[in-house]
Amino acid sequence: MPVLHISLFDYRAFLSEADPLIREIDAGDYESLRSHVRASVSRYSGVCEGDVDRTAPICIHGGVLPARGSIDEPVPSPRMVGEWILAVIDQFLEMPVSLTRGASLGPILERIGWRSHSIHRLLHGRPMGQLLKPALVEEEPKFVSDTDPYWLWLRLHGATVGWLNDDGVERLLHDLNRDREQIAALDVRHVPGIDHDDQLAQHEYSQRIQRKCDFMLERLTKARKRQLGLLQSTVYYC
C-alpha cells in the first residue's frame, strides 16, 4: 500500500551547508561530509535502534541512517556518498505528515487540462539530483548503477522521492487553489478504471480525491507561509 509522506524542507539552509561540501566531494575530499554525517547520526544516539525508523524524518521517508562504522570508509562509493548526503538532509526536514488511501490526482488533473510537467511536479516533486547539480540533472533516472555519480544516488529504499523549492510551492499552490472546485465537481465515472455502475465506488473515489487535494493544499500552504520547500516521498509498504 503506498503512503505519501511530506516534510517541510529548509532547502536554503541545506544548500548553504552543502555548497562547500560538494566542492570538497568533487575534489575527492570526504572529511567534512563525514563530520556532517556523524553529527546527523549522533542526534539519535539516545534513541533505541528500533525506534530510529520512526524518529528520523529521512527514515520515515524510506531512507536509512548510515552505520557509524561505514562513515569511516576511506573511499566511499557514489552510492554511499548519496546515502550520506541524505543523512545530512535529515537535519533540515521537519517530521513528515502522511496520507494513506489517497487516490492519485494525476488522472483528474489531466482531465481538467493540467500539463504533464505540472502534474509530475505536484505528485513527485523535482529530481533530488537537482538539489546538488541542477545543470546536470533534468529528470530522475529510473535506474542507477554503481558507476553513476553520487548526485544520482539521492534515492530511498522502496520509495520515490522529490523536492520543491519555494517557487514550485507558490505555483502549484496557486494552480491547485484555482482548480479545487473543478476537481471536486468532476464526474469520476470518466476516470479510467472506475466502474460506471458502482455508485458506492464512485463516491469513495471522489472522497479519496478530495482528501488528497486537501492534504496537498494544506502542505503547500504551510510551506509558503513558512517560506520553506517540501520533500515528499511515496513509500510502497508490503
At 6-22, the pLDDT tens digits run 999 999 999 999 999 99
> How confident is residue 72, by pLDDT bands cut at 50, 70 and 90?
confident
- Note whether 86 and 40 are within 8 A (CB): no
Q: How many CA atoms lie within 13 A of 83 on its CB side?
A: 19
220 vs 202: CA distance, rounded Å: 27
Give bridge partners of residue 5 from the DSSP assignment. 98, 233
User: Residue 48 has what pLDDT?
Assistant: 58
> Which residues are registered as beta bridge partners of 4?
99, 234
Single-letter residue type at 31: E
Average pLDDT over residues 93-103: 85
Q: How many domains does the chain have?
A: 1
Look at residues 1, 22, 49 and name the one whose alpha carbon lies nearest to residue 235: 1
Q: What is the mean pLDDT of residues 77-96?
A: 95
- pLDDT grade for 102, boundaries at 50, 70 and 90: low
**Residue range of the domain that includes 195:** 2-236
Opening angle at CA 123, ends 81 and 236, nearest 5:
65
Q: Report which residue type is found at 183.
A: I
Highest mean pLDDT among 42-51, 94-103, 176-185: 176-185
3-class DSSP assignment, residue 14: helix
Q: What pTM, to 2 d.p., does this model score?
A: 0.91
Q: How many CA atoms lie within 13 A of 39 on its CB side?
A: 13
The C-alpha angle 161, 167, 173, rounded to 5 degrees, equals: 80
DSSP, collapsed to helix, strand or coil, labels residue 127 as coil
Model pLDDT, residue 101: 62
pLDDT-derived band at 25, boundaries 50, 70, 90: very high
CA dist., res. 169 & res. 139, Å (int): 18
Cell of 141: 533516472
